[in-house]
Structure 1
Amino acid sequence: MYRFAHMLAFLTALLLSVFARGESDPYAIGEAYKLDDRDELVYREQYYDDGNAHHRVLYFSPEQELIARKTLNYSNSETAPDFRFEDLRFELILEAKNIDGEIALSKSAAGEQESGRVDLAERQVIDAGFVAMIQQHFTELEQGLEFSFAFPGRLKNISLRAITVDFAATPFTQRQSNYTYLKMELNNRFFAMFLDPIYLAFDSDKRLSGYAGRSNLTDSDNQAFDVLIQYRYPPQSSQ
């Protein structure tokens, strides 16, 4: 009995150690501020690599309360990963799965579920896969890069366009000489007039360093709002 209890305690301590180490070493951190009040931190994103092409994002309030989480599986595609997003505050779940040439989309809000399927486009993006799409086609950005973006909230694919812009045309406040600045908007001039674009900043290593536009979270009143997110990439310790 003593030997079993000792082994159980050892395994528990080992698991807790692994879990704590994984949680304490995000490879990327994003700090989100209200776009119209940049002194107010509204949430923090922490990105973890769980191995085997699986990634995880945790969203924390300024008080360090876990408010949302997301899992991404890049096994099938770097630009169109399977993902599941859950907002713990409002019982909202969004999902997209890349299955046999189609994308299965679903949305569950307050217990009511909707689902649908869309065809997988040639240049298909799902969720955070837009970063890989831009990185893979960086030389096309001056002319404009077009791709399809799966939108679980509307159960449809929408066509987006990313193009380089001058720093002065963006909401960012600190210019970096080695950054590339982009505008991402609907690939339809008429509809684009009714929806504000998203602005992105990529550093010299083609890492996403800044995001300005509509958040994938809602505010504390469950209303859509715009944010400015600054990303940083802590040095990774060898394990």
Structure 2
Amino acid sequence: MFSRTVGLGALASLLLALPVTAADYRVIGKAYALGSWQSPVYEERYTPRTDAGQAEVHYVDAEGKRIALKALDYTRGDIHPSYRLEDQRLDRIWGAQWSSDKQITLKRGDTENPESETVKAKARQVIDAGFDPFIQQSWKALLDGEKVTFHFAFPNRLTNVKLRAERMGAEDSPLHHKEREWVYFRIRVDSTLLSLFADDLYLAYGKSDRRLMVFRGRSNIPDDSGEGRDVEIRYHYPSD
């Protein structure tokens, strides 16, 4: 559900045709390939959320060309938005859309004929960019040393995965870019067996403002050949 007249797919196709400089961005994330810190391989540019609960993320390559677009719908809440990510280079999509109050339809693959699977929504259900407000909502528990579990809708695998977030020391975080005043977290699969097949994610947040400053893990944007890649994304907030 995106709106009564324009679906997520139609909006994504429309916005992909717009010039990259068309919007004023609320957040910009610069994604660096691990071990290569001189210049980002792409940028994530987040538009402000509209009064109707919609937002976009524009993905731009090193030459300034838009390569992908994600359309988000937050009408069901901050931590589990419906979304559709379209990669313009590869004609591929990934997405998660509420099909009822208790079910989420996940999609991946060819733009015209993607694979899909419907999964049951769980308690503490998180989708895509919703992990950020979830961390902020769980702030006190995490800073008190609790391990906070949640379910994450994962279109790449067409499944709903149980994850665990926990605080860690700055000295234990593998992030390349660190600041003393930040707070550091790790997110991992909440299963000893499954964790053997999935890498951890690492985050850094501003302690006073609870803003996401750095993310390190598998990118949702593959490289030009369609292969997955790990990145470190550094965020700043132009609206400040």
TM (norm. structure 1) is 0.85
Corresponding residue for residue 4 of structure 1: none
CA positional deviation for 1:232: 0.1
Q: Which amino acid aligns with 2:104?
A: I
Q: Which amino acid aligns with 1:225?
A: R
Q: Counterpart of 2:47 in 1: which secondary structure?
A: strand
Corresponding residue for residue 173 of structure 1: 176
Q: Which runs of 5+ in 2 are unaligned?
A: 1-17
Match of 1:162 among 145, 160, 165: 165
Q: Which amino acid aligns with 1:116?
A: E
Contact 1:210–1:229, Cα closer than 8 Å, also in 2: yes
Structure 1 residue 70 corresponds to structure 2 residue 70: yes
Corresponding residue for residue 215 of structure 1: 219
Q: Counterpart of 1:211 in 2: which secondary structure?
A: strand
Q: Counterpart of 1:143 in 2: which secondary structure?
A: coil
CA–CA distance in structure 2, aligned partners of residues 152 and 173 of structure 1: 28
CA–CA distance in structure 2, aligned partners of residues 170 and 194 of structure 1: 20
Shift of the 24–111 alpha-carbon distance from structure 1 to 2, 3 Å rule, reads closer
Q: Counterpart of 1:36 in 2: which secondary structure?
A: coil
Corresponding residue for residue 103 of structure 2: 102
Corresponding residue for residue 151 of structure 1: 154
CA positional deviation for 1:174: 4.0
Contact 1:164–1:181, Cα closer than 8 Å, also in 2: yes
Corresponding residue for residue 233 of structure 2: 229
Q: Which runs of 5+ in 1 are unaligned?
A: 1-18
Corresponding residue for residue 205 of structure 1: 209
Contact 2:166–2:187, Cα closer than 8 Å, also in 1: yes
CA positional deviation for 1:218: 0.7
Q: Counterpart of 1:168 in 2: which secondary structure?
A: helix
Corresponding residue for residue 126 of structure 1: 127
CA positional deviation for 1:50: 4.4
* RMSD of aligned alpha carbons: 1.9
Contact 2:25–2:239, Cα closer than 8 Å, also in 1: no
Contact 1:58–1:70, Cα closer than 8 Å, also in 2: yes
Q: Counterpart of 2:83 in 1: which secondary structure?
A: strand
CA–CA distance in structure 1, aligned partners of residues 75 and 175 of structure 2: 34
Q: Which amino acid aligns with 2:55?
A: H
Which contiguous aligned blocks of 4+ residues in structure 1 show a shift greater than 4 angstroms? none
Mean alpha-carbon deviation: is it higher for 52-61 or for 193-202? 193-202
Match of 2:190 among 177, 187, 191: 187
Corresponding residue for residue 9 of structure 1: none
1:44-83 CA distances to partner (integer Å, 9 max, x unpaired)? 1100024121110000001011101001111112111010
What are the within-5 Å matches in structure 2 for residues 137-148 of structure 1? 137-141=138-142, 142-148=145-151
CA–CA distance in structure 1, aligned partners of residues 81 and 199 of structure 2: 25
CA–CA distance in structure 1, aligned partners of residues 104 and 111 of structure 2: 23
1:183-222 CA distances to partner (integer Å, 9 max, x unpaired)? 1111112221332211001112111110111111111221
CA–CA distance in structure 1, aligned partners of residues 32 and 68 of structure 2: 16
Larger Rg belongs to: 1
Corresponding residue for residue 16 of structure 1: none
CA–CA distance in structure 1, aligned partners of residues 114 and 178 of structure 2: 44
Corresponding residue for residue 60 of structure 1: 60
Q: Matched residues, percent identical?
A: 35
Q: Which amino acid aligns with 1:134?
A: I
